[in-house]
Amino acid sequence: MRMYDLIMKKRNGSALCREEIQYMIEGYTAGRIPDYQMSAMMMAIYFTGMNKDETAALTMAMAHSGDMVDLSAIPGIKVDKHSTGGVGDKTSIALLPMAAACGVRIAKMSGRGLGHTGGTIDKLESFPGFITGMSSEQFTKQVNEIGLAVMGQTADIAPADKKLYALRDVTATVDNMSLIASSIMSKKLASGADAIVLDVKTGSGAFMKKEQDARALAQEMVTLGTLAGRKTIAVVSDMDQPLGNAVGNALEVKEAIATLRGEGPDDFTRLCLTLGTYMLIAGGIVSDEKEAEARLTQAIRDGSALRKLAELVRAQGGNPEAVYDTSLLPGASIVEEIVSSQSGYVSKIDCDEIGMCSLILGGGRETKDSKVDLSVGLVLHKKTGDPVSKGDVLAVIHANDSDRLKAARERFLAAYHFSDTVTDAGPMIKCVVRES
């Protein structure tokens, strides 16, 4: 078997068989197949596509390119949750304790952010002392003891995907449905969960700008998970404006904590309840959606979800008092209001631009080696459809550098659009995709 022949076969529109894909992934991971040949293959796939069998074979080959996490020492159904990412997406911080408080077993591997804001690991490190580096034995032990653990994803999980993604990123071959789906699902399958709940974002702040593309990606990933024997459910949710009000690591943690107290923004609370409902169903806790949501709501009301977050923080070396006293979380030295120069209604928010404001302030990574400032960001006071009078506060900006603050303020104001009539923001939940 030669890579040259496989490139020509794919270039001419023919499907690759499972053995050919396995050969290609094994060879590239081991360094036997050079970047220039794999780049040619990625471009051939980009233009000619992959069928369902090819996509499934690629996903499994990448999943098996490194360690496959064994969670068999944890009894019951283990449920994982994954988001395709967006601005203000702090969902895991609130959702995981909610679901765990209801009895779902969650052994989650998460990553750091690259771009707008930090990832789940960065946000959790807002708790002083919180650590995510642990052995597989410690990881398993913690899930068995408190029902929830979050650790950083190791380099040995789906290394083929890491190598391939870096190549796709510099060869303009990221935007292909099969390659996106296999990249996400290879890591999820390698992480060992029995069931997977996916949050697929759509809108101006999401990778999938068009809802039809997000639905197609959701269906592709649900199919891949099902073929691999994992119960998989996808929720397509809105990202035409930031999720909730807070954008920036510690600020997002504070908002997640407020949500666990029953005081969170409506859109964020709705998303957590929806994703949590399907986590409870996938985990075999309940079979009815209404009962699932009622249990999650009760976990907020009785404080058990908030206590579960404190348990998680304590178990992983952090200060649990910060869950109850958020002044112990990182805070910025400069806090400034951004006011409106006009009246009307917020008609549109350029969501990506709000994310860029956080990046400018230091709340995200421009490169993988960038240091994240956990204290900076923005808290929005007005969102799409809200009435605004001249002089009203649009947002509060948290910064540690006056020059960065000035640049972020200018970008923020340019991201807000106004009209004389009310604009409907649309539903938070677009649809739910399950294997029929």
Give catalytic residue positions: 82, 161, 168, 183, 187
Could you tell me the strand order of the sheet in which 416-419 lies? 387-388, 344-349, 416-419
Amino acid letter, 8: M
C-alpha span between 106 and 104 (Å, rounded):
6
CA neighbor of 176 nearest in space, from 339, 84, 66, 44: 44
DSSP state of 361: H
CA neighbor of 269 nearest in space, from 259, 257, 281, 254: 259
Cα-to-chain-centroid distance, residue 301: 26
Torsion sign across C-alpha atoms 23, 27, 29, 35: negative
Torsion sign across C-alpha atoms 170, 174, 178, 181: positive
Cα-to-chain-centroid distance, residue 349: 21
Amino acid letter, 412: F
Cβ–Cβ under 8 Å, residues 101 and 225 = no
C-alpha span between 277 and 272 (Å, rounded):
8
